Amino acid sequence: MKCSNGTPGANAFAVFILGVILLLFPTSCSMFTCPAPNVPTKSAYQPSSPPPCDLPYCDVNLDLPITAVTKPKIYIYKGERRLLLVNESTLVREYRIGLGPHPKGDKYFQGDGRTPEGEYSVCAMNSNSKYYKSLGLNYPSLKRAQDAYRLGEITQEQYLKILEANERKTLPPANTCLGGAIFIHGGGSYEDWTLGCIAVSNLYMDELFEVVSPGTSVTILP
């Protein structure tokens, strides 16, 4: 008796042949359709955070109206004679500055003609200064006073007065060997003519005076 194509024996043989093919080519994509791997495309990738910023600003907008500055910070680069006004993370102004007769190095003692370096803040504002307008900085800082007291450079009474001024956010005394009365003031930046203060033009001083307030951060760099 002959078996037709529809018989159970023929069907079993066909299944056997198909199984052999699958065993010989288990991963072949040429004979069978393979689904695309579930990998996001380059265009779909979004970084989780912005790239790191090594400067005190990540954007520049020198045309921003000064009235739009709401969170100012000041950065002073002594070696470059530059004062940067940064609003949040945007550089909004850059001013030329003048310093004292010995601008290199941190301030160490009264009369050395140097501008202190480090982290400070505005603690006084004078709209009728000898040099147009001025912003007083909290030098000597608490850390500088602590180091000086530990080394015996200032007395306990002097240390306590500097400590009190820093706690009250007022201008520290300037009559110790550490010096003081460090200001950002007007008068021009044509040369290094101050006694250790930071000088800018009167026009720039007007802009600073409009946006700065007591407590504004001032970072002074070499």
Q: Report which of 194, 217, 184, 197 is spatially closest to residue 118, judged by C-alpha positions.
A: 217
d(C-alpha 45, C-alpha 51), whole Å: 14
pLDDT band at 17 (very low <50, low <70, confident <90, very high): low
For residue 152, pLDDT beyond 70: yes
Q: Contact at 8 Å (CB) between 113 and 99?
A: no
**CA atoms 111, 187, 64, 78: torsion sign:** negative
pLDDT band at 193 (very low <50, low <70, confident <90, very high): very high
Whole-number Cα distances in Å, 126 to 58, 77, 132 = 32, 23, 9
Q: Across the chain, what does the average pLDDT equal?
A: 83
d(C-alpha 84, C-alpha 217), whole Å: 12
Mean pLDDT in residue range 2-29: 48
Q: What is the pTM of this model?
A: 0.74
d(C-alpha 190, C-alpha 196), whole Å: 15
d(C-alpha 211, C-alpha 85), whole Å: 10
pLDDT, tens digit, for every residue of 78-130? 999 999 999 999 999 999 999 999 999 999 899 999 999 999 999 999 999 99
Q: How far apart are the first and last CA of the chain?
A: 106
Share of the chain above pLDDT 90, in %: 75
Q: How many residues does the chain have?
A: 222
pLDDT band at 48 (very low <50, low <70, confident <90, very high): very low
SS3 of residue 122 by DSSP: strand
pLDDT at 134: 98
Whole-number Cα distances in Å, 51 to 37, 39, 46, 75, 98 = 29, 24, 12, 22, 34
Lowest mean pLDDT among 16-25, 110-119, 156-165, 181-190: 16-25
